[in-house]
Structure 1
Amino acid sequence: MTGCCIQDEQDLCMEYSPKIYQLITRKYTLAILLLLDKYDKMRFNEIMRKINGITQRILSMRLKELEKAYLIRREIDKNGKTVMYSITTQGKALKNAMLMLLQLTNLLSPPNNPEKDYFC
């Protein structure tokens, strides 16, 4: 017995990493990836200032999760005083895929509420 729910059609089944799937659906993940893609490198406090409502604890957790998944890179300068975060190639690919999915949801069901929903 396999983990696929489609019987007699194993070629339609695809394995995926539940950890990555859970990470990309967490609040602020896309916002962090978007910022790092736009600004190339950012410090922790710069990211904090750009994201409304995020706490230091959540930002710290999310950055560690994204780094562990190889979606962002954490770099320390030669003096050991400045930590910079940047997006990896994998992170850019994931960000682009997430944006395409958001655009598709808008095509299928355009937001008609004057108070729009946002991804974070």
Structure 2
Amino acid sequence: TLNQELQNILSTKDLRIVNLKGAKTNPEGFGKLIISLNQGKGFLQVNNMPKMGINQAFQLWVTVNGGVVSLGVFNPKNKQQYYPFSIPELSNKKTTIFFLTEEPSTGSQKPSKKVILTGKLM
């Protein structure tokens, strides 16, 4: 279950937490990424998010090798608190930037300019 997966990540030696801060479009928003780099998995947790249109969703992105990779599309309309995602191999990166954007509910190939949250893994 989702709770078991979250507990597994929370009990790993390589647990990393990335604090997400609200961008200009959502200064009151915040959240966390709970990540196990060894397992290649993580969870997104968000608070004070803007209301989304019917055909809108949030999409999580990470910078990898000078490009941007989508980590998934998340629909905040359900009451779920933690959203699971898989993460690419990041172990040799100095600073990795994560950001959450507002996108069509089907997701996007590249991020829109509407950034909601941002954070760094150092």
Place the TM-score, normalised by the shorter chain, in its bin. under 0.3
More helix by proportion, 1 or 2? 1
Which structure's CA Rg is the greater one?
Answer: 1
Q: TM-score if structure 2 supplies the norm length?
A: 0.25
More strand by share: 2
